[in-house]
């Protein structure tokens, strides 16, 4: 009798298990649909796609955009890599994966980048957003503006980390486009995504997908992502023999199966991609940053930009009244030109006699010609205040550019020249071709870079200020 009574129970358990396998499991799998896209990074040609335009949860693939904007902010002087960032309560409370930051803690911006790229730390991603835009909501709006400018037409960001949120959606195609932009637009920072481990300031962190990086030949990034709603996502890039393939997978069932699928797709890409193809880099989106003051709420530190730091009052000297009896230059046109050439020759010879330093232009010694004896030059009274003595340490190739920047006043000519050289080496991209000048003042020696356009001077100052270097712009005729 006992055996008979237990038989219905066993059949009931079997029925429940069958229902679970047939209904519950498929429903959970349906929460993370599969999508994929494979692209030749050199040309942007799509080599394979499946559900590539279906809007799905991107999970931590979102951090590719967070880091892209962070690189943009550093390049444009909004913030420096060594800028200290104060962690908010909101950032510290983000769920794992996280770096373990505490509310009120201060950490350098570069460590937040490493933690977000390598460990996929959610607290670091939120801190990056707040440091740049003041709040995560404002940062998300900037993410969406940048995505639209990139052509990511089916992406909407609601946060900086990728945790599941209503409306926070993207596609395999859009994430592949984003990965391509990261690689081509910021190649100097792309290596972050290939680091197996990194020093994140408070501790050493390890890459979330180091197995693929170690096991797939040529793999060098980019980003993993996982939530229950998204499944196991990955955008990966690999380079072999000059060919570069980017593949994105949404909805993987596990880390292992996702990695296997991405490896399969990368192999497919290398098989289908032509050996030789012209490289057509994607067009970099318009800069979506803004000039502003301090960060709302006090979280992070936004560097004051040049629009706020530029000289407000023109330093252009006023025209001095000339006496009615002032002598006038009396000379033939040829004699004037000869005198100018002679004066230039004297200045060049004097420049050559200056002590040579690294990076200085060495000119051949020029023997000045005698000035014409019959030339009478105008007599102008020398201003009594703040006499200027200039020491040229590098010839300008400015081609008529007449803006400059000042990087400080120093007690000696040697110190000013040393600072100019160090600054030029650290900021070669914007200061290349400029004229380094040491200007003697009563209170010391000004270190100036001259021969810049207004735009170049503005960008150089912003980038230097982001590196905690004192800098202000010098207008044409403004006391250079």
**DSSP 8-state class, residue 60:** G
DSSP annotation of 411 reads S
3-state secondary structure at position 409: strand
Would you say 436 and 396 are in contact if contact means Cβ atoms under 8 Å apart?
no
Contact by Cβ (8 Å): 176, 39: yes
Question: How far is it, in rounded angstroms, from Cα 195 to Cα 208?
Answer: 10
103 catalytic? Reply is no
Closest by CA position to 266, among listed 287, 249, 285, 289 = 249
* Residue (of 72, 37, 14) closest to 154 by Cα position: 37
DSSP helix/strand/coil, 76: coil
Dihedral, 409, 415, 416, 421 alpha carbons, nearest 10: -140
Catalytic residue among 63, 98, 261, 437: 63
Other CB atoms within a 10 A radius of the CB of residue 67 amount to 25
Q: Catalytic: which of 60, 88, 97, 434? A: 60
Number of C-beta neighbours around residue 399 at 10 A: 8
367, with CB counted inside 10 A (0-12, 13-18, 19+), is exposed
Q: Indicate the burial class of 180 (C-beta count within 10 angstroms; 0-12, 13-18, 19 or more).
A: buried
Please state, in angstroms and as integers, the Cα–Cα distance from residue 293 to each residue in 79, 134, 300, 309, 332, following that order: 12, 10, 12, 10, 57
Please state, in angstroms and rounded to a whole number, the distance separating the CA atoms of residues 439 and 325.
32
The DSSP code for 170 is: B
Is 63 catalytic? The answer is yes
> Catalytic: which of 88, 97, 120, 434?
120
Eight-class DSSP state of 169: B
Would you call 120 a catalytic residue per the annotation? yes
Catalytic residues: 60, 63, 120
């Amino acid at each position: 009798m006992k055996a008979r009574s237990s038989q219905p129970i066993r059949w009931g358990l079997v029925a429940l298990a069958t229902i679970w396998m047939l209904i519950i499991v498929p429903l959970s799998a349906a929460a993370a649909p599969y999508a994929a896209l494979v692209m030749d990074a050199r040309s942007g040609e799509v080599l394979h796609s499946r559900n590539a335009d279906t809007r799905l949860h991107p999970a931590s693939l979102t951090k590719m955009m967070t880091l892209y904007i962070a690189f943009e902010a550093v390049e444009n002087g909004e913030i420096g890599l060594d800028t200290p960032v104060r962690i908010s309560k909101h950032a510290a409370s983000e769920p794992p994966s996280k770096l373990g930051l505490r509310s009120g803690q201060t950490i350098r911006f570069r460590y937040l980048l490493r933690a977000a790229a390598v460990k996929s730390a959610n607290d670091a991603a939120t801190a990056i957003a707040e440091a740049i835009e003041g709040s995560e909501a404002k940062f998300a709006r900037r993410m969406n503006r940048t995505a639209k400018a990139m052509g990511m037409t089916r992406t909407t960001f609601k946060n900086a980390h990728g945790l599941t949120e209503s409306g926070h959606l993207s596609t395999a195609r859009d994430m592949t486009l984003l990965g391509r932009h990261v690689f081509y637009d910021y190649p100097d920072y792309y290596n972050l995504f290939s680091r197996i481990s990194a020093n994140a300031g408070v501790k050493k962190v390890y890459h979330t997908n180091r197995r693929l990086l170690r096991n797939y030949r040529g793999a060098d990034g980019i980003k993993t992502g996982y939530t229950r709603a998204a499944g196991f996502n990955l955008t990966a890039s690999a380079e072999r023999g000059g060919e570069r393939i980017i593949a994105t997978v949404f909805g993987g069932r596990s880390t292992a199966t996702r990695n296997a699928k991405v490896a399969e797709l990368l192999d497919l890409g290398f098989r289908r991609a032509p050996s030789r193809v012209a490289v057509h880099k994607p067009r970099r989106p318009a800069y979506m940053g803004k000039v502003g003051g301090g960060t709302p709420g006090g979280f992070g530190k936004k560097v004051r930009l040049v629009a706020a730091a530029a000289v407000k009052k023109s330093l252009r000297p006023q025209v001095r009244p000339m006496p009615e009896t002032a002598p006038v230059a009396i000379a033939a046109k040829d004699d004037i030109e000869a005198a100018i050439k002679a004066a230039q020759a004297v200045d060049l010879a004097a420049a050559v006699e200056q002590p040579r330093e690294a990076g200085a232009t060495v000119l051949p010694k020029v023997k000045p010609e005698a000035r014409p004896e019959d030339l009478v030059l105008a007599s102008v009274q020398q201003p009594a205040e703040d006499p200027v003595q200039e020491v040229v340490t590098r010839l300008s190739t400015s081609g008529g550019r007449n803006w400059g920047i000042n990087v400080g006043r120093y007690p000696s000519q040697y110190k000013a020249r040393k600072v100019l050289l160090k600054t030029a080496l650290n900021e070669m991209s914007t200061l290349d071709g400029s004229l380094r000048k040491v200007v003697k003042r009563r209170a010391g020696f000004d270190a100036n870079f001259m021969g810049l356009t207004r735009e170049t001077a503005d960008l150089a100052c912003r980038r230097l200020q982001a590196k905690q270097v004192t800098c202000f712009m010098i207008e044409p005729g403004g006391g250079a």
